[in-house]
Amino acid sequence: MIAPDDPFAPLGHRFAEPWHAQTLAAAHALVDEGHATPAQWADALGAALARAAVQGAPDTEDTYYLAALEALESLAPLDPAQLSDRKSEWRDAYLRTPHGQPVTL
């Protein structure tokens, strides 16, 4: 059972999109591998959600998971250039992948 204060727990204990689950799984791995503490994850997620609220983002699952992705990126053990390169690689892979097929690098 998921504890109510678990920072990795999905909203409503379900995922609307596969990337939602993947984002939280990546955050969990980041903590498990010692790149961040649970408190650092919770702080980064809270800060990203606060920024979204200030920017007028609606209180929706998409806003939550986009904030989770932002928090994950802020804690990732990559420098900004590496992160930018990786995003470009994924974007290019996505654009060359036929509809309905899995995206691979």
pLDDT tens, 58-88?
988 889 999 999 999 899 877 888 888 888 8
Instruction: Give Cβ neighbours of residue 37 (< 8 Å, ≥ 6 apart).
Output: 31
Domain spans of the chain, in order of start: 17-77
Contact 40, 7 (CB under 8 A): no
Per residue in 23-57, pLDDT tens?
889 999 999 999 999 999 999 999 999 999 999 99
Which residues make Cβ contacts (< 8 Å) with residue 9, sequence separation at least 6?
A: 2, 3
When pLDDT is cut at 50, 70 and 90, the band that residue 94 belongs to is confident
